Amino acid sequence: MQHTDTDHRSDAPLNGVERTLLLATAEALVEIRRLASKPLTKDTQQAIRELADAFHNVPRVAAYTMEEREPLAFLMQAAEQQARMAFERYGVASGVLVGSPATE
């Protein structure tokens, strides 16, 4: 699917997973900002990479129309799995990802 920035996007409401992942993306960005404000050790750099890796597809996929999002659901499922693992590994508190440190 080739899109331009001028395409109008999501004309359909997001499903629960998509909404949750967008909210978790916001949490991850806050954590990345916090980590980036510290000395950048190898561990800190790895945490930033893993968090960015987990979430980089979420905003773009969520911006697509429902018809465009449906075949990309696997990306959101993968993002959710990666996000849970990264949040758990680095002790990131989440108010939205069930099973993460803040929701247990």
Q: Which pLDDT tens digit goes with each residue over 46-75?
A: 999 999 999 999 999 999 999 999 999 999
Is 67 part of a structural domain of the chain? Answer: yes
Is 18 part of a structural domain of the chain? Answer: no
Total domains in the fold of the chain: 1
Is 3 part of a structural domain of the chain? Answer: no
Is 1 part of a structural domain of the chain? Answer: no
Residue with the bigger pLDDT between 104 and 10: it is: 10
Tell me the C-alpha distance between 82 and 55, whole Å: 8
By residue range, what is the domain housing residue 34?
A: 24-90
Per-residue confidence at 35, pLDDT binned at 50, 70, 90?
A: very high
Please say whether the beta carbons of 63 and 10 come within 8 A.
yes
Both tokens of residue 10? 């999501």
